[in-house]
Every structure is written in structure tokens, then in C-alpha cells.
Amino acid sequence: DYKLYSFENSLSICFNYKDFDPEDLCTKLYESNSLMVGFGNFQNKKFVRLVVVNCENSYDNLMQFFTILEEFAKQNKDLLKKI
């Protein structure tokens, strides 16, 4: 369900989830107080950009992020724009 755009050893994970518009997904996650995550553009492609430079992040923290994102998308799939 994910399309990865980042490269190995990057400080951020750049990806798209299913076919949801990354800007719309990030905005709606923020507006619902679910997650604060950004989006980016590179070579005419938009993607979710999760910066993971915090050394306090654990595996469980990252898994929780993706669990929240997936559950939010599942519950709001009819409200999210597609790309």
C-alpha cells in the first residue's frame, strides 16, 4: 500500500499511501489532531515526508505513526482526495 520515494540512510521517509493525495492526507491528519506530518514535492511528484532525525524515536514510535495513518485513511477514505 506504500510507494517509497526516499533512499537508504535518509533522515526522512518519503512515501505515498495508497492513492491518497499527500497534501490532502497531511492536512486532514493535522486538522483532526491525529498526526503532524509534512509533505514535499520532487520532480513533479508529491509525497508524505516524515522526518525521523529524533534519536529518541523508537521502533514502536514509528510503528504507531503508521498505524495511526492507516487507521485514519481507512476511516476517512471517502473524504480524502486521490492522486
10 Å CB burial of residue 76 (0-12, 13-18, 19+) is middle
- Find the largest Cα–Cα distance for the chain: 36
The model carries a pTM of 0.91
pLDDT in tens, 40-63: 998 899 999 999 888 898 999 999
Grid look-up 509525497 returns 47
pLDDT in tens, 19-46: 999 999 999 999 999 999 999 998 899 9
Q: State the amino acid at position 37 in one-letter form.
A: V
Which residues are bridge partners to 45 per DSSP?
A: 42
The terminus-to-terminus CA distance of the chain in angstroms comes to 14
